[in-house]
Every structure is written in C-alpha cells, then in structure tokens.
Amino acid sequence: MSPTPPPAKQVPSVRSFHGDSVTDPYAWLCDKEDPDTIAFLNAENDYTQALTAGQEDLRGAIFGEIKARVQETDLSVPVRRGDWWYYGRTVEGQQYGLQCRTAAKPGDDTPPLAADGAAGKDGALPGEEVMLDANQLAGDSEFFSLGALSVSPDGRQLAYSTDYAGDERFTLRIKNLETGELAADEIPNTFYGAAWSLDGSALFYVTVDDAWRPWRVWRHLVGTPHSEDAVVFEEADEKFWVGVGLTRSQRFLVVSSASKVTSEVWLLDAAEPEGELRVVRPRQPGLEYSVEHQLFADGRQRLLVLHNDGAVNFELAEAPVDDPSRWTTLIAGQDSTRLLDVDAFTEFLVVDYRRDGLTGLRVIRADGSGYDVDFPEPIYTVSPGGTPDADASQYRLHYESLVTPDSVYDCVMATGELILRRRQPVLPAPDGREYRPEDYQQFREWATAPDGTQVPISLVCRRGTPRDGSAPGLLYGYGSYEISMDPHFSIARLSLLDRGFVYAIAHIRGGGELGRTWYDDGKMLHKKNTFSDFVACARHLVTEHWTTAGRLVARGGSAGGLLMGAAVNLAPDAFAGIVAQVPFVDALTSILDPSLPLTVTEWEEWGDPLHDREVYQYMKSYTPYENVRPVEYPPILAVTSLNDTRVLYREPARWIARLQATAQGGPFLLKTEMNAGHGGRSGRYDAWHEEAFVLAWIIETAKASRTGS
C-alpha cells in the first residue's frame, strides 16, 4: 500500500480584517519553536522520501550526468583591479570555491588564463595568493554562505562576512592580505555588502532592523571595537531598504535608500570617511534614480544619473559633482528601450538596456559616438561581467543562450572588437556523448493572454524532438519585481533535453522582459495578469503541439512559487505536475503582518491589504493558500528551508497541509531542508543532489501522466 500523508492537526485560528473573518486551521505551524511543527516537517520529509524512493536510481544518474559535464577544477577569467588580477576557482571534490589573486604586470590587459596552460593541476595560477578558501571557513558546517567580499582600494585588506545558518545574518571580519592575519575586528549581525574608504582606514556596512529590513549604514574604523562604530545613515521609513557601495572611480561612497517605487542617493567623499553625506536629489514619490561617477582622463568629472523622471523606461542624465540635483539629459527615454544601468570609465560609457524582450549593451565613446554590441543568435542574454578598473580600455561581458554556454568576452571599447576569453566547458556525459550546440534548437514564440496581450516564450529542445504533442515539457516562470527570466544555458537542463523534454520560459507580465509597463501590468491590482499569462503560455505549448497538458510540468520559486500556486488553482487541468520552491503561497497572511520580514517593503509591490480593503479582497481572491479547492489537482512538490528569512517555511507547510486535507489528486509533497536558507543547500555537490532530486521528480511525474500509471 502507498504511504499516506502525515495527519496535520487542525486548531482553528481566526483572522479578521475589513469585516472579513477567515478561519485558519494550520496557523499553529507558524511557531518554529513548537515541537509539533518540527515533528510535522520531519513527518512530511519522511512521506516525501517514501513516495520518491523509486526515483533513487534516476536521481543518481542525473547527479552523475551533472557532475560528469561540469569541469570541477576550474578558474574564472581574472579581472584586473589596480596591481592585481582577481579570480575565483574551484577544485574537484571541494564544495566551495577559493577567492584568489595574482600580481599584474604594468600595462597588461590580457588576463592569465588556465586554457593557456598557466594553471597548475589544482587550477592555481603562478604567483597565486589565496585570499579566502570557503572550504576552510565552512569546515563541517551543514550550511555556509558569504555575504560580503570587498578588497580595500590599496589591495591590502579584505572584508568578508559569513553565515552558517541560512538566515542571512552575517558576521563581518577583516583580513590583512599582506600578513594573512585576521584583525580583532568582528562585527555580528550584518547585511550583505561592505565598502571601504579610499585609504582603507574605514569600512562601511549595513545592519537590519527587527523585520530584517536593511536600515542603517555604519562606519567602522579599522582597529577599533565595533561597539564604537558610528551610524552614518538611518532610514526610518519602513518601505525603504538601504545599501552601500563605492563608485568605480573610488572617489565616492554611495548610500542608496530605495522602496519599490522611490529612491534616494547620498554621496560621501571616499577620501574623507568621517565627512558628511550629501543627497543627490531628495526623494520624491515615484522618482527612482541611481548614480555613477565618471572621472575623465583629463581630470574632468561628472555624475551620471539613470532616472525615470518623465521617462517610464528611464533616461540617462549628467550632473555636476558640486550641484548633483541639476540633471541634463544625455540619452532620452524611449518607449521601445528600458535603460537598466550605466558603467563609466575614463574614456567610455557602457549602457545596459533591454529592447524587444532581449538584453543589450551600448558603448559610447568620449566624443559621443557609439555602437551596440551585436550577437548573431535570435535569442540570447548579454550582461555586464564586472570591470572594476575605471581606466579600463576593455569591457568584460557575459553572453549565453539556451544552447550556447556562458561565454566571457572582453570588448575593446574603442573598436568594438570582441575577444572570447572563456566559454563554460561542458564535458562529455557519462556515456561519452559530447555536448554539441547544433544538436539542440531554440525558439521564440508568443502566447495570447485572455486580454489579447502577446506573451513571449523562449523554448529549447533537442533537434528532432517530435512536434506532435508526445514530448514531455517543463514550463518555468517567475513574473514579479521587474525581474526578467532571460534565456540562459544550464548543464543540469541537458538531463531533461536528452530525455526528450521541451523546456520553456514564460516571459510573463510582472517581470521586466518588455520594459517597465510590462512590470506595472503584473503588480498590485493587475497581479492576476501574471497568472493568466502563465496559463496562456501553458495552453499555447499544447495548442502548438510542443507537448500536452498530461505531459507538462510547471516550475517556479519564491514569488514564482506564488505563481505556481495561483496558476494551478486557476487551471489545475493545464499541468501534469507542479514544482514550487520556497514558494510565497500565503502572500495575504504574510503581507497583513508588518512584524514579519519584508512585509512593509512589499506593500508597493502587492498592495497594502492591512489598510486597503480593495487590496485585501483582491489578494484574497488569488493567494494560493486560501483558494485551494476540493477538485482534482496534479501532483505537487514543494521545497522549502527551515531558516529561510525571505519566504518563511510556514507558507509551503500550511499550503501542503491544506492541499492534503482538501484537494483531490496529488500526491502533494513537502521537502524541507532543516539547515538551509532561501537559496537551498549551499555546497555545489549538495546543490547538484537537490537539483537531481527535483529533476527526477519532474521526469517521473511527466512519465506517469503520459502512461496513465
């Protein structure tokens, strides 16, 4: 007999807002310290393990395929900064990477590469200094993550922070790179990132409030107790997050405070770490902007401001350093092009943009002439690769597609010449079969949403995959925060494609693929467009005979997990299975509670159901947990982490409990990592095992649906 789901006790708890009372029988699962909660999570893990035990051999095969295809001892393309080439590398058998550097020769702009035979058997380059070995730092810990990694401008000190629980609370430390010694300075409970003063005497970092909102920027004077650190910026508005960084020119420390729709930037002379911050332009509701500093070769300087004042897709302006609020347009906003970012160098600008659903880069010379960096494939992603040296003449970028592995290029900015530095190796599969891009095909199609909107879909499959509906399919989606799910290459995905799967990405509203209006049309009181777009994409794949509903599995994580829950409530017949990872499936309950992490900051993304009855009713109509129905659902696999601070484990736990008690069909499985955070398990081999688990479930679920077993 098949195992049965562990019974979840029902303890009625009433939630009342705006005259509406809702009884939640599983609210008790919100108490992480309750032994009954842990017992339930462990019982669900046992149930999931029992129902997937037959997939163990397949999981092992997929893990073997991923491992065989990855070059385990590997080296990133070194990046020049000052007198050093900085890079990361991995060693076969080790879970985590090493952060390294080697001395650069004056005037040398050609990075040392492992492909040139310069690296030893362990991947080390000649003259290498290992700044940080994450394997040593991790030790025997079940989880490990870095939150900051910042070298001082003079190259003598390294600031780094560590998390051993997955709750994204980091301890910040300082290492002397000349002696290898750790300073006595140790700062607990910090957030991501850190920035140095120009002379390395001061380190700036961020801490969070009780709701896990980054809200304070601190100045730490190296060599002094952290109890003496000074707050240099504090953000009282609970809708705003703060961050800190250093401009590429290293002239200014940048403190940014931003909500979902408004931002404000403050500057501090990096040579005067105990000086006063200056605001670029005081915040105005709805005004978003970011700032870069450009120092020309002849000593002239200016601020570059990317903003949306009168330009929905943003425009680029310049401003005098001594009068930063006076903006003069350099690149006017366009309906067809969403400007994303700008990188400034002594002789060039590089603008990162999005047009026609694809990313792009434009290089602008000092005389104002420019060009777009072009690539031949019809579907691809190009993105900045990190060029920290303000005097650089070559711009590092990444290029990939659904069939082309991540490719690192240096663009000679004066001429546009592209120099391929490295393409991600894809080693032969365990059976000896080599990866050849020409064995696969990629496509761009358009689904029609219920309101007539055309929604792009990117697809990839093995060449020769039948177009008669017999192929299994996987449809991925996200659709929130203006985050775009751009076409990218994945070694793990090959394990699906080589088993006959069609893989598709639904570029739905709420993301940023087609500009700011695409995002606006999938948020707040337009959020349901995200879900109906996704269902339309699923229906399109069936109509166009890529697959059938009985063979199509959907996958999404975090806000994409909300998408999974809402889409399957909307159209349970459209899918053979659902994978929801760290899913935000109880959005309404969470966003009604301002004491929870991230809640208040989310009101400008989803709406404020606490104070707005219309928003409350709208969210209640789609939030997955409250809309589970007693109808036939496909099998569902939810994956979560006990220490996740972004989407609390309680959401998928209560969702699965309600599905098991209310819905028909299934099975409904919950897998909880008891020592991990929002990103799941931290070591690369552990992550591969986790991906193999999910892919095996997808394959077997599509297969069971296909055969009717």
In the set 256, 558, 682, 705, the catalytic residue is 558
Across the range 183-210, mean pLDDT stands at 94
Catalytic status, residue 545:
no
In the set 220, 307, 540, 678, the catalytic residue is 678
What pLDDT, on a 0 to 100 scale, did the predictor assign at position 123?
A: 80
What pLDDT band is residue 210 in, cutting at 50, 70 and 90?
confident
Report d(CA 622, CA 620) in Å as an integer.
6
Per-residue buried b or exposed e for 159-177, using 16+ beta carbons within 10 Å of the residue's own CB = bbbbbbbbbbbbebbbbeb
Across the range 664-670, mean pLDDT stands at 97
Asked whether the predicted pLDDT for residue 157 surpasses 70, the reply is: yes
What pLDDT, on a 0 to 100 scale, did the predictor assign at position 134?
A: 96
Asked whether the predicted pLDDT for residue 709 surpasses 60, the reply is: no
Question: What rounded mean pLDDT belongs to the chain?
Answer: 94
Asked whether the predicted pLDDT for residue 119 surpasses 80, the reply is: no
What pLDDT, on a 0 to 100 scale, did the predictor assign at position 523?
A: 97
Report d(CA 208, CA 534) in Å as an integer.
35
Q: What is the pLDDT of residues 330-377, one digit of tens each?
A: 999 999 999 999 999 999 999 999 999 999 999 999 999 999 999 989
Report d(CA 684, CA 71) in Å as an integer.
12
Q: What is the pLDDT of residues 499-539, one digit of tens each?
A: 999 999 999 999 999 999 999 999 999 999 999 999 999 99
Return the percentage of the chain with pLDDT > 70, whole number: 97
Q: What is the pLDDT of residues 452-492, one digit of tens each?
A: 999 999 999 999 999 999 999 999 999 999 999 999 999 99
Asked whether the predicted pLDDT for residue 628 surpasses 80, the reply is: yes
In the set 495, 644, 682, 705, the catalytic residue is 644
Across the range 541-559, mean pLDDT stands at 97
Q: What is the pLDDT of residues 287-339, one digit of tens each?
A: 999 999 999 999 999 999 999 999 999 999 999 999 999 999 999 999 999 99
What pLDDT, on a 0 to 100 scale, did the predictor assign at position 706?
A: 56
Catalytic status, residue 678:
yes
What pLDDT band is residue 708 in, cutting at 50, 70 and 90?
very low
Domains of the chain as residue ranges with CATH: 18-67+429-447+495-500+538-707 (3.40.50.1820)
More confident residue, 596 or 16: 16
Q: Give Cβ neighbours of residue 350 (< 8 Å, ≥ 6 apart).
A: 342, 343, 361, 362, 363, 364, 384, 395, 413
What pLDDT, on a 0 to 100 scale, did the predictor assign at position 1?
A: 58
What pLDDT band is residue 120 in, cutting at 50, 70 and 90?
low
What pLDDT band is residue 596 in, cutting at 50, 70 and 90?
confident
Report d(CA 396, CA 375) in Å as an integer.
15
Catalytic status, residue 644:
yes
Across the range 96-120, mean pLDDT stands at 79
Backbone angles phi, psi at 447, to 5 degrees: -95, 155
Across the range 397-401, mean pLDDT stands at 98
Asked whether the predicted pLDDT for residue 448 surpasses 80, the reply is: yes
Across the range 223-246, mean pLDDT stands at 95
Q: List the structure tokens of 327.
A: 């903006």
What pLDDT, on a 0 to 100 scale, did the predictor assign at position 199?
A: 96
Q: Give Cβ neighbours of residue 422 (< 8 Å, ≥ 6 apart).
A: 76, 77, 113, 115, 407, 408
Q: What is the pLDDT of residues 254-299, one digit of tens each?
A: 999 999 999 999 999 999 999 999 999 999 999 999 999 999 999 9
What pLDDT band is residue 647 in, cutting at 50, 70 and 90?
confident
- CA-to-CA separations, 596 to 45, 352, 645, 648, in angstroms, rounded: 26, 35, 9, 9
